[in-house]
């Protein structure tokens, strides 16, 4: 998965903007795989903000569950998948099998030929969640990120808008 870049960071760290910039260095058109679902007004506003940054060179695919299929259908086009942790949330809230979905994602990433940038929220740096579901989410997110990072060609952590390369070539 040498063409895969995993971008991690906290909420409002600048990770999505960084990831968009990475894909924009590739030849358009680009594919944006969106995993977020607008369950409330605040989430609708976040989605609208992200959409406003994308022009006609972007083709958006909404994939709250089937990200592996979206990656396969993108062919060799550069892909930005935003975000892994919203995707994981969708899976958990529907009580679906996380391992099955992660295995499908990893298989699709291994098949990818085109550049692929994945965005995820690093949730393991904060307090221990109060609920069992929150703790499971934190644990599953950590394992998901570790599994992808182990095979990705590059891993970048973004804090305060500043990228720190954890694995792979420097920026």
Residues assigned a catalytic role: 50
CA distance 102 to 125: 22
Q: CA 114 → CA 18, 71, 128, 155, distances in Å? A: 18, 10, 37, 17
Q: Are 4 and 118 in contact (CB under 8 A)?
A: yes
CA nearest neighbour of 79 among 105, 62, 58, 51: 58
């Amino acid at each position: 998965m040498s063409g895969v870049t995993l971008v991690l960071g906290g909420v409002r760290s600048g990770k999505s903007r960084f990831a968009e910039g990475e894909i924009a260095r590739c030849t358009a058109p680009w594919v944006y795989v969106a995993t977020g679902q607008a369950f409330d007004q605040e989430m609708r506003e976040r989605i609208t903000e992200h959409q406003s940054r994308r022009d006609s060179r972007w083709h958006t695919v909404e994939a709250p569950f089937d990200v592996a299929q979206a990656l396969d259908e993108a062919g060799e086009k550069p892909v930005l998948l935003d975000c892994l942790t919203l995707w994981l949330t969708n899976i958990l809230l529907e009580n679906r099998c996380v391992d099955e979905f992660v295995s499908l994602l990893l298989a699709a990433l291994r098949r990818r030929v085109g550049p692929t940038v994945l965005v995820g929220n690093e949730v393991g740096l904060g307090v221990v969640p109060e609920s069992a579901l929150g703790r499971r989410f934190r644990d599953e997110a950590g394992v998901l990120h570790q599994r992808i990072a182990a095979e990705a060609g590059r891993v970048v952590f973004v804090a305060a808008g500043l990228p720190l390369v954890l694995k792979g070539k420097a920026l």
